[in-house]
Structure 1
Amino acid sequence: MCGISGMFDTRGQRLFDGALAARINNIQAHRGPDEADVHLEPGLALGHRRLSVIDLATGQQPLFVADGQVGIVFNGEIYNFQALRAELEALGHHFRTRSDTEVIAQAWLAWGPDCVLRLRGMFAFAIWDRREQTLFMARDRLGVKPLHYALLADGTLVFGSELKVITAHPGFERRIDPLAVEDYFALGYVPDPRCIYQGAHKLPAGHRMLWRRAAGGQAAAMPVSAPYWDVRFTLDNPISQADAEAELRERVKESVRLRMIADVPLGAFLSGGVDSSAVVAAMAGWSSTPVRTCAIGFDDPKYNESEFAQMVADRYQTDHRLEVVGSDDFDLIDQLAWLYDEPFADSSALPTYRVCQMARKHVTVALSGDGGDETLGGYRRYRMHLGEESARSALPLPVRRAVFGPLGWLYPKLDWAPQFLRAKTTFQALAMDGAQAYQHSMSRLRTDERRALLSPALQRQLGGYHTVELFRQHAQQAQTDDPLALVQYLDYKTWLVGDINTKVDRASMAHSLEVREPLMDHELIEWVATLPSRMKVAGGEGKFIFKKAFEPLLPHDVLYRPKMGFSVPLARWLRGPLAERMRGSVLGPRMLDCGFFNRQVLSQLVQQHLGGQRDHSDVLWSLLMFDAFLKVSEDGA
C-alpha cells in the first residue's frame, strides 16, 4: 500500500522542478513511510511513497521495464499477480522482481489498456509509455483505492492518491465548486467524479483514462474517462438455496485466502458484526497460527459491540486485542479535516481512525468486512425502501404526488417521537420515483432543507442542479428494475466509494496500515449479483443467505442480533462537551462570511439543537466539518 503522485506535460517536454515533485510526493508520506523516490525526465515526474508489504527487497517504485521505456507508479495489491506472472512468463516476459507492480507493467506490454481486465485486486496506478508518449491511469472496480487529477492552465497534468497532492501544486487554484457543496450537504461527502475544488477530479471506480501528449505544444484536450467494468444484476441464477449457501461460503473463503498473502504481520478487524466475524472465521480456516484480531470498544454500552467480538475471538482462539475508547473521544476534528482534504461528515470516521491506530501497533495489513452490506443486502434502509416500493407500485406517480406530496409537506418533523410516528420522510418518498426516493432517504439534509440552508447566491451558482441528478444518472445505467438491485447499484456508485472506501482509506493510511476487503472482491460481487433478491432480503431479514451460509461457523447471537453500526453520540456531544466548539464554528466568521449559507438558518439550527427543541446533530456535524475543511483550505495545508 502506497501513495502515488506525478506531473505530465500534455503539451511538450518541459523539465519539472525536482524539489516540487519531491514536495508534492512527500505531502502524503503517511501513506508510505518505508521508502520514497521520484523519477524525472523531460515532460514527466513520477513519485512514489512506499509501505512495504510484498517483495520487501526489490519492490521499489517508480519501476521501469522494457529497457526503461515503460514506467509505473502503483498503489494497492493485485491478489492474482502470481497466476498472471506465470501467464506472462509463458508469453516470453522476463521479471527482475517478485512484486505485483512489475506484473502490471508487463501486463501493459502484453495487453495494453485491457491489462486492467486481468487484474483482481484494489489498485490505482499510472503507466508512462515513452514509446507512445502516453500516460495511462486506472482505478480498481469498486474504488477501494483513490486517484485524483487536475489539468492546470499551463497544460500540466497533476495526479496523486490524495487531493492534497494537487492542492500543494502552486499552479492549482483552490476555487470551491458550488455543485460539490450541494452534494456534500445532501450526502455528507463529495461523490465521484467531483472534488470540492473546481478543476480537480476523481477517476471514478472501474474507469481508465489515456493521456496522449499533444504535438507542437498545442493545448491537449482532457480525455474522457471510460468504464472498463460494471456490475450487472441478472438475478437469474437457478441455484437452490442450499447450494447457494454452500457456494457463497466457499467463495468468501477463497476471497479471504487471496488476501492473506503478505510478507509482513497480518490480522483483521473484528467489530462483532456479521461481516468482520465471517472474515475472521474464514481466516482461521486458512491459518496455522492464531489470527490476530483487533477491536475497539466504547465506555458507553449503547455503542459497544465488544462482547460480540469476544465471542468470535473465543470461538476461533484468536490473538485478540481490545482497546476501550472514551465516549467523548472527539479531539480529531482538525486532524480528520487535513486527512480527508474535503469536507467529510461521516462521524464514524473517528472510531475508524482509532481502530486503525490501534491495529497498526500489531499488524501492517488488516482484513475488514467492508462491502458486505452493499453486496448482500444488509442495510435496514434497503428493507424500508422495499416496503415503500410496494406502496409506490400500487399507485401511478401522478396520484402519489397528489396524495403524498401534500402530506409530506404538512406532516411535522418529529425527531423526538417513536419511530412509527416519524412519517414525514416516508410520505415525501412515496411521492417520488425509486431513484429520487432513495437519494431522499440517504440525504443528511432533504432538498427543501438544503434550499433553506444554502444562500440565494450559491443557489444561483447551482443553476438548478440537485444531487438527485447524480442518482438518476446512475439509475439509468443500472440495467435493472428490481427495487433491491437498483439501490444496491446506487450504493456501489455513491455511498460505497464516496463514504465507506474513502473513510477507510484515509483512516488506515494515516497510520500506514493496509486494509483489504474480501467482500469487495469483484468476482464475488459478480456472482452474488446473479442471485435472486429474495435470497438477500427475506422475511424482513437482511443478508439472509449470508447469515444462513455462516450459521455453521458463527454464534447465533452474532448473526441475528440487531445491527448496531460504528456510531458515536453526536447529539449529546453537540449539546455538551462540543457545544461551544460547534457554536463557534457554525456561527464563526469563516462560515458567516464565506457566502454559502443563510445566516438566519445557521443561527436557528444552533439555537434549536442547544435548546433541545430539535435534533439537528447530523447537519450541525456536517457544518462543523465544513468549517474545519475551510480552515485547512485557508491555511494552505
Structure 2
Amino acid sequence: MCGFAGSFAYADGPAALDVLESQLHALRHRGPETPGVWRGERARLGHQRLPIIDTTEGGRQPIQNEDGTVVVVVNGEFYGSGAIRDRLRHRGHTFRGASDSEVLVHLWEEVGMAALQELTGMFALAVFDTRTRVLLLARDRMGKKPLYWYDDGHRIVFASELKALLLDPAVPRNVEESAVVEALTFGYIASPRTIWKGVQKLLPGQRLLCDSSGPRTEQYWAAPTERMEPRSDDDAADELRGLIDDAVRTRLVADVPIGVFLSGGIDSSCVAAVVAAQCGPSIPTFSIGVEGETEGDIAHARLMADHLHTEHREYFIGPSSLSLLPRLVWGLDEPFFDPSILPSYHVARLAREQVTVVLSGDGGDEMFGGYDTYRKALRHASGDWVPLALRRQVASAARALPLGQGALGRLRQLDRGILERHLANMSLFRPEDIGSLLTPDMAATATSGPLGLLAETPSPQAGRNGEAFAALLDYDAKTYLPDDVLTKVDRMSMLNTLEVRTPLLDQRIVEFSARLPFSMKVRQGVTKWILRESTKQLLPDAILRRGKRGFGIPLHRWMDHGLRTLARQTLLDGRCARRGWLNPKGVAAMLDRDSWQPGRQAHQIFALTCLELWARTYVDRPREELHSPLDGVLELHPAVTAAGVA
C-alpha cells in the first residue's frame, strides 16, 4: 500500500508553488520509505511506498518506461499480473524489477487507456505520458483506494488523501456547508463531492483524462445489470465457492507476512477458512472486543480460531480509546461519524505488530444482502399493496403522534418508497433532529446528498420478484460501501501502515453477485443465503446460523466514562458557538443528563464531537500545519520504525 500526489499544468497560467515534498510527508504513514519524486516540464509525481511485492529498489516508484517518456505511480495492488508481465516481456518490454505496479507503464505503451480493462485489484493510479502530454487518473472498480483532485482552470492537482491535496495553496479551503449536513444525516459524504467546494473524489470505477483541453471523467466499469439465467442452488453455490477460493489465492501473493482479520461473522470466517485451507493452520488471526464483554463477536471469533487452529490474538477497547479521536479525525480527512473507526484502528494496530498485510471479509454484506436493514425493507414492504393515497393518510396521521419506534415508526414511513425507507433506517440525524441542532443558516443548506440516486431505483410495485430490494444492495455498494466501510478500512489501516485486502470484493465475485436474483441472497429471512450455502463445508454450525451483528461500540455506556465530558469540553467551547454551524441551545439540551434518550443519542453526540474536532483540525489551523494531527506529530507504528524503513 502506498500514497501519491502530483499535479499537471495542462494550460498556461500563473506559476505554482512546488510543495510536492510537503505533500508526501503528509502521506508518510501510507508508505514509510524515502519518497520517490519525478518532475517534468509541466507535471510532477511523487510517491510514498509501503513495499509489499518486490521490496527491493526495483519496486520503487515513480516507475518509468525504457526511454523515460511514460511515468506512473500506483497505490494498491494489481492481482494476477504475472500473465500480463509475461505477455509484455514476450512483446519486448524490459522490466527493472518484480513489482506488480510496473506492468502498468508497459501496458500503457501497448494499449493506452484500455489498460484499465486488463487490470484487476485495489488501486488508485496516475499515468503521465510526456509525448502526448496526457494525464490519466483512475480508481479501482469498488473504491477500495482513494483519490482526490482539484482543477483551478489551468492546472489539476491530485493526491491519495485530502490533507496532502490541501497543502497546495492553489486548492481553496471553502467548506461546502451542505456536505456538513449530509455527513450528519448519513455519517459520511458520498462521492464525488467532498467537504471542500470544488474538490472532488474520483468515483469507484472512474477514470479522469486530462490533456490541453482540461480534465474530463468517465466510468470505465459498472456492475452488470442483467440477471443470470435460472440455475440450481447447488450450481450457484459451487461457482461462488470457486470464485472465493481463487480470489483468496491471488491475494496471498506478497513478499511480507500476511494475516486475517477475524470478527466471528460469516464473511471473515469464510475468508479465514479458505486461507487456512490453502496455507495450512497457524495463520495469524486478529480480533477486537470490548472491555467487560465476553460474548458476541469475540466469542465467535475465538470459536472460529479454535476450529481453524490459527495463531489468534485479541485486543479489547474501552472508553479510554476516545482519547485517540483527534488523531483518527485527522486521518479521516473529512467529517465521518462511524464509531467503528475505534475498533478498526486498534485491530489494525494489533495486526501490524506481526504482519504487513491482512485479508478481511469486508464487502460480504453489500454483495450478498447481509444487513438487517434488508430484512426490514422486506417487512415494511408488506403493506405496499395498499393504495398509495390511503398509505399517505395513515403515514400523515402517524407522524402527528409523539415520536415512537416499532409499529408506529413503520407507519410513519408507509408512504415512502423502498429506498427512502432504507435511508431513513440508515440515517443518523433525521430532518427533525437537524432542525433543532443546526443554526437556521446551516439547516437551510440541506440537500438530497446520496438521495440523488433515488431516481434510479425501481418503484415498490416492481419489487414483487425482489428486484426493487436488489436495488438497495446496489445503492449501498455505490455509496455506503466505498464512502463509509472502505474509507474507514483504508484510513485506519494506513494510520498503522498496514495493507488490507478484501477477497469478497474481487471483480468476478462482484459481477457474479450483481447477476444473482435477490432470492439467492435473502431467502425466508436468512441473509447471505448463497454465501452460507457455498461455505457450509468450511464453517461450524454456530457461525453458519449466526445472523448479522456488526461490531457495536457501547457509546451509551461510555457517556459516563469520558464521552460526555469530551463532548461538553468540545461542543460547549466558544469556538464551536462562533463557528455558526450548531445551535448552542440544541447542543446543550442534548448533553443535559435530564434530557437523555436511549437509542441513537450517544452516537449523535459522538458525531457532533467528531465534527467540531474536524473543524479545529482542518478549518481553524493554517495550511502548513495540516500534515500532522491536532494532538501532535504522528508517530509511525513501532513495527515500522523497528524495521528501519521509516
Q: 1:231 aligns with which of 207, 216, 223?
A: 223
CA distance in 1, matches of 2:490, 2:67: 34
Kept in 2: contact 1:328–1:573 (CA 8 A): no
Give the AA of the match of 2:605. Answer: L
Task: Evaluate the alpha carbon distance shift between residue 400 and residue 574 of structure 1 in structure 2; reply closer, same or farther with a 3 A threshold.
Answer: same
Look up the match of 2:476: 491
CA distance in 2, matches of 1:307, 1:135: 50
Within a 5 Å distance, the mapping from 1:531-542 to structure 2 comes to: 531-542=516-527
Higher mean Cα deviation, 601-610 or 194-203? 601-610
Kept in 2: contact 1:35–1:51 (CA 8 A): no
CA distance in 1, matches of 2:585, 2:83: 62
Look up the match of 1:387: 379
Give the AA of the match of 1:444. Answer: L
Within a 5 Å distance, the mapping from 1:202-241 to structure 2 comes to: 202-214=201-213, 220=214, 222-223=215-216, 225-241=217-233
2:400 corresponds to 1:410: yes
- The 3-state SS of whatever aligns with 1:145 is coil
Kept in 2: contact 1:383–1:540 (CA 8 A): yes
Kept in 1: contact 2:457–2:468 (CA 8 A): no
Task: Evaluate the alpha carbon distance shift between residue 300 and residue 422 of structure 1 in structure 2; reply closer, same or farther with a 3 A threshold.
Answer: farther
Describe the superposition over 1:190-227 as per-residue Cα deviations: whole angstroms up to 9, x where unpaired.
1111111112110010100101135xxxxx4x42x211
Task: Evaluate the alpha carbon distance shift between residue 280 and residue 545 of structure 1 in structure 2; reply closer, same or farther with a 3 A threshold.
Answer: same
Kept in 2: contact 1:15–1:44 (CA 8 A): no
Look up the match of 2:449: 467
Give the AA of the match of 1:412. Answer: P
Kept in 2: contact 1:413–1:422 (CA 8 A): no
2:417 corresponds to 1:433: yes
Q: Which ranges in structure 2 are unaligned for 5 or more consecutive residues?
A: 627-646
- The 3-state SS of whatever aligns with 2:110 is helix
Look up the match of 1:456: 440
2:231 corresponds to 1:247: no
Look up the match of 2:621: 635
CA distance in 2, matches of 1:322, 1:461: 44
Give the AA of the match of 2:288. Answer: I
2:36 corresponds to 1:46: no
CA distance in 2, matches of 1:520, 1:51: 22
Measured after TM superposition, the shift of residue 94 of structure 1 is 3.1
Look up the match of 1:364: 356
Within a 5 Å distance, the mapping from 1:66-465 to structure 2 comes to: 66-152=66-152, 155-214=154-213, 220=214, 222-223=215-216, 225-288=217-280, 290-301=282-293, 304-326=296-318, 328-392=320-384, 394-407=385-398, 409-414=399-404, 421-462=405-446, 465=447
CA distance in 1, matches of 2:601, 2:532: 35
Task: Evaluate the alpha carbon distance shift between residue 474 and residue 601 of structure 1 in structure 2; reply closer, same or farther with a 3 A threshold.
Answer: farther
Describe the superposition over 1:315-345 as per-residue Cα deviations: whole angstroms up to 9, x where unpaired.
2221222223335532211011110011110
- The 3-state SS of whatever aligns with 1:176 is coil
CA distance in 2, matches of 1:22, 1:109: 28
Q: Which ranges in structure 1 are unaligned for 5 or more consecutive residues?
A: 215-219, 415-420
2:617 corresponds to 1:625: no
Higher mean Cα deviation, 546-555 or 120-129? 546-555
Look up the match of 2:642: none
CA distance in 2, matches of 1:303, 1:12: 63
Kept in 2: contact 1:303–1:564 (CA 8 A): no
Higher mean Cα deviation, 130-139 or 540-549? 540-549
Task: Evaluate the alpha carbon distance shift between residue 461 and residue 536 of structure 1 in structure 2; reply closer, same or farther with a 3 A threshold.
Answer: closer
CA distance in 1, matches of 2:600, 2:101: 49
Kept in 2: contact 1:374–1:491 (CA 8 A): yes
- The 3-state SS of whatever aligns with 1:135 is strand
Task: Tell me the number of residue pairs that the alignment of Structure 1 and Structure 2 aligns.
Answer: 616
CA distance in 2, matches of 1:232, 1:429: 31
Kept in 2: contact 1:13–1:43 (CA 8 A): no
Task: Evaluate the alpha carbon distance shift between residue 609 and residue 77 of structure 1 in structure 2; reply closer, same or farther with a 3 A threshold.
Answer: farther
- The 3-state SS of whatever aligns with 2:76 is strand
Kept in 1: contact 2:564–2:591 (CA 8 A): no
Give the AA of the match of 1:4. Answer: F
**TM-score if structure 2 supplies the norm length?**
0.91
Identity across the alignment (%): 35
Kept in 2: contact 1:182–1:466 (CA 8 A): no
Look up the match of 1:417: none
Give the AA of the match of 2:374. Answer: Y
Measured after TM superposition, the shift of residue 299 of structure 1 is 2.1
CA distance in 2, matches of 1:473, 1:586: 37
Look up the match of 2:567: 582
CA distance in 1, matches of 2:357, 2:579: 41
- The 3-state SS of whatever aligns with 1:351 is helix
Give the AA of the match of 1:552. Answer: Q
Kept in 1: contact 2:17–2:168 (CA 8 A): no
Look up the match of 2:512: 527
CA distance in 2, matches of 1:551, 1:469: 37
Give the AA of the match of 2:452. Answer: L
Describe the superposition over 1:242-283 as per-residue Cα deviations: whole angstroms up to 9, x where unpaired.
122222112111110010000001111111111111001101
Task: Evaluate the alpha carbon distance shift between residue 575 and residue 610 of structure 1 in structure 2; reply closer, same or farther with a 3 A threshold.
Answer: farther
Kept in 2: contact 1:136–1:208 (CA 8 A): yes
